């Protein structure tokens, strides 16, 4: 009987294909994930058990650690209208080029109304971190005027849509009175429903909410 | 010309002075590269799904002095938020004689059990949590206490934010001093 020869096979597997797949997936994930826009204002939000995702398009009131208040008008279609509205209602006397700069270039609005013109007229670009913030004392609450322009522009439209867009993003370290003044500015404009941006958190095990098993709705 | 000399020794010999190039395989071991690829994938997948901003709903009541809600003393619990993440609370109404005994302090860790205890021991129609924030408390405290209400499944309309009265503020300062909270 002739011996049956078993051919000796190499144990080395060709890794090229696997490598290709790995990097293809990697490329896909990198390209598919939407990059978070770099945060100009560093804000560390508190946590909550709410599971609703924050909308992208929003009217965002940012409250920084130092207690400065900024406004960001994320709805590009209405931004120009809102800024034009406050220009006329508060008699800011901004020139068309200054208005254009405020609408197109400035992402955050964070200047007292009386300093807005000089800031927009100068060629120096002030980063949001160096801005003063919108005055929000109980005596001079300028956020009320901004929000009034917002409500003026959205008047007649879908109010629910506006409610969904109104966001407050605050730093956990900011003091309560400023938050209270923001709420007051909203309430003065009949805006009673708004949302707070928070970092997601799991429902604590054993709590009432955990037992009912339903997701947080508030 | 374009061919590589892949033959092993024995073939035609080159001149005695010509060095024979060592034969190297063109195959590269790709295993570490695959490892790296998957490691990066895992990293990206985890980091992208982890940080998701959520939005918490807020419903502010209209400030209407005519429609002031009457709260039963037996069902009311007042929660005061102070400096340094401290929480103070009392049940019912503050009586001048026993105010210092009624006024107790706790932390955010302890308040959950107290909220739940009150909720379980009170008929749901009478239940009312009154939240008062001090000027020294932070935005985080205000959000956390509202979140505690959600966690303890207190129905909306059974808690409200109210401004602090001067008596309470004074008591709060005294307690802070006594507890050494800076």
Closest alpha carbon within chain A to B46 = A29
Closest alpha carbon within chain A to B143 = A46
Size of interface A-B (CB pairs under 8 A): 167
Contact B30 A212 (CB under 8 A): no
CA pair distance A215, B9, nearest whole angstrom: 75
Q: Which of A109-113, A198-202, A211-215, B30-34 has the lowest mean pLDDT?
A: A211-215
pLDDT at A18 over 70: yes
Give me the residue from A19, A174, A198 closest to B54, CB to CB.
Answer: A198
pLDDT at A40 over 80: no
Hey, is the C-beta of A207 within 8 angstroms of any chain B C-beta? yes
Contact A196 B48 (CB under 8 A): no
Closest alpha carbon within chain B to A34 = B48
Q: Which of A17-26, A157-166, B108-117 has the lowest mean pLDDT?
A: A157-166
How does pLDDT run across A88-101, given as a tens digit for each residue?
Answer: 888 888 888 888 88
Contact A175 B135 (CB under 8 A): yes
Confidence (pLDDT) at A38: 66
Q: How confident is the model at residue B9 (pLDDT cuts 50, 70, 90)?
A: very low
How does pLDDT run across B94-122, given as a tens digit for each residue?
Answer: 887 777 778 888 888 888 899 988 888 88
Contact A176 B152 (CB under 8 A): no
Find chain B residues with C-beta within 8 A of A23's C-beta.
Answer: 37
How does pLDDT run across B152-175, given as a tens digit for each residue?
Answer: 888 888 888 888 888 888 888 888
Contact between A197 and A166 (Cβ < 8 Å):
no
Contact between A212 and B153 (Cβ < 8 Å):
yes
Hey, is the C-beta of A218 within 8 angstroms of any chain B C-beta? yes
pLDDT at B137 over 80: yes
Confidence (pLDDT) at A95: 87
Confidence (pLDDT) at B145: 92
What average pLDDT does range A43-56 have in this prediction?
83
Query: Which has the closest alpha carbon to B170: B88, B113, B109?
Result: B88
CA separation (Å) from A20 to A14, A72, B30, B42?
A: 11, 43, 10, 16
ipTM: 0.76
The whole-chain average pLDDT of chain B stands at: 81
DSSP per residue over A151-188, as a string? HHHHTTS-HHHHHHHEEEEE-TTSBHHHHHHHHHHHHH
How does pLDDT run across B18-72, given as a tens digit for each residue?
Answer: 666 778 888 788 888 889 988 988 888 887 665 567 888 888 877 766 666 677 8
Helix-strand-coil split of chain A, %, nearest 5: 40, 15, 45
Contact A33 B44 (CB under 8 A): yes
A117 contacts: CB under 8 Å, gap ≥ 6: A92, A93, A94, A98
What average pLDDT does range A170-184 have in this prediction?
90
Distance of CA A120 to the CA centre of its chain: 23
Confidence (pLDDT) at B141: 92
Confidence (pLDDT) at B27: 79
Alpha-carbon distance B64 to nearest alpha carbon in chain A (angstroms): 12
SS3 B71: coil
A33 contacts: CB under 8 Å, gap ≥ 6: B44, B48
Give me the residue from A18, A200, A207 closest to B152, CB to CB.
Answer: A207
CA pair distance B79, B145, nearest whole angstrom: 9
Contact B52 A195 (CB under 8 A): no
Confidence (pLDDT) at B1: 42
Find chain A residues with C-beta within 8 A of B45's C-beta.
Answer: 29
Q: Which of A2-16, A158-172, B56-70, B104-118 has the lowest mean pLDDT?
A: B56-70
Alpha-carbon distance A165 to nearest alpha carbon in chain B (angstroms): 10
Contact A172 B55 (CB under 8 A): no
Alpha-carbon distance A12 to nearest alpha carbon in chain B (angstroms): 9
Closest alpha carbon within chain B to A183 = B60
What average pLDDT does range A189-205 have in this prediction?
86
Q: Which of A61-65, A187-191, B31-35, B53-57 has the lowest mean pLDDT?
A: B53-57
* B36, B55, B83, B135: best to mutate for the A interface, most A CBs within 10 A: B55
Q: How confident is the model at residue B3 (pLDDT cuts 50, 70, 90)?
A: very low
pLDDT at A73 over 60: yes
Query: Which has the closest alpha carbon to A116: A151, A77, A71?
Result: A71
Hey, is the C-beta of A31 within 8 angstroms of any chain B C-beta? no
Give counts: helices (H), strands (E), chain A: 8, 5
- In this structure, the number of other CB atoms found within 10 A of the CB of residue B58 comes to 18
Share of chain B above pLDDT 90, in %: 10
DSSP per residue over B135-152, as a string? TTSBHHHHHHHHHHHHHT
Give me the residue from A49, A178, A197 closest to B55, CB to CB.
Answer: A197
CA pair distance A180, A186, nearest whole angstrom: 10
Closest alpha carbon within chain A to B34 = A19
pLDDT at A116 over 70: yes
Q: Which pTM was predicted?
A: 0.75
Find chain A residues with C-beta within 8 A of B53's C-beta.
Answer: 45, 53-54, 197-200
Distance of CA A21 to the CA centre of its chain: 36
CA pair distance A173, A175, nearest whole angstrom: 6
Share of chain B above pLDDT 70, in %: 82
């Amino acid at each position: 009987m002739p011996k049956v020869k078993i051919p000796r096979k190499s144990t080395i597997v060709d890794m090229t294909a696997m490598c290709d797949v790995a990097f293809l997936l990697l490329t896909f994930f990198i390209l598919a994930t939407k990059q978070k826009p770099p945060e100009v204002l560093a804000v560390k939000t508190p946590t909550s058990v709410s599971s609703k995702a924050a909308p992208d398009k929003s009217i965002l009131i940012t409250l920084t650690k130092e207690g400065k208040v900024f406004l960001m008008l994320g709805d590009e279609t209405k931004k120009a209208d809102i800024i034009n509205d406050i220009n006329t209602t508060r008699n800011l006397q901004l020139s068309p080029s200054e208005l254009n700069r405020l609408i197109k270039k400035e992402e955050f609005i964070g200047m007292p109304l009386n300093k807005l013109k000089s800031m927009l007229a100068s060629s120096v670009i002030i980063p949001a971190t160096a801005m003063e913030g919108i005055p929000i004392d109980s005596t001079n609450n300028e956020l009320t005027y901004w929000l009034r322009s917002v409500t003026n522009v959205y008047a007649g439209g879908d109010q629910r849509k506006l409610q969904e867009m109104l966001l407050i993003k605050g730093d956990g370290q900011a003091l309560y009175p400023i938050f209270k003044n923001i709420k007051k500015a909203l309430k003065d404009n009949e805006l009673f429903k708004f949302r707070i941006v928070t970092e997601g958190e799991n429902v604590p095990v054993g709590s009432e909410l955990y037992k009912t098993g339903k997701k947080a709705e508030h | 010309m374009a061919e590589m000399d892949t033959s092993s020794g024995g073939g035609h010999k080159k001149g005695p002075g010509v060095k024979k190039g060592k034969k190297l395989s063109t195959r590269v071991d790709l295993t570490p590269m695959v490892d790296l690829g998957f490691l990066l994938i895992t990293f990206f997948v985890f980091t992208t799904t982890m940080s998701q901003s959520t939005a918490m709903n807020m419903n502010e009541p209209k400030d209407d002095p005519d429609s002031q809600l009457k709260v039963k003393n037996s069902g009311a619990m007042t929660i005061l938020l102070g400096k340094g993440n401290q929480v103070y609370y009392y049940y019912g109404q503050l009586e001048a004689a026993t105010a210092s005994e009624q006024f107790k302090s706790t932390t955010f860790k302890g308040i959950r059990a107290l909220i739940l205890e009150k909720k379980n021991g009170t008929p749901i129609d009478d239940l009312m949590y009154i939240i008062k924030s001090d000027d020294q408390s932070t935005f985080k405290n205000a959000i956390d206490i509202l979140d505690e209400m959600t966690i303890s499944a207190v129905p909306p309309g059974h808690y409200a934010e109210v401004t602090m009265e001067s008596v309470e503020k004074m008591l709060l300062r005294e307690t802070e001093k006594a507890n050494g909270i800076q």
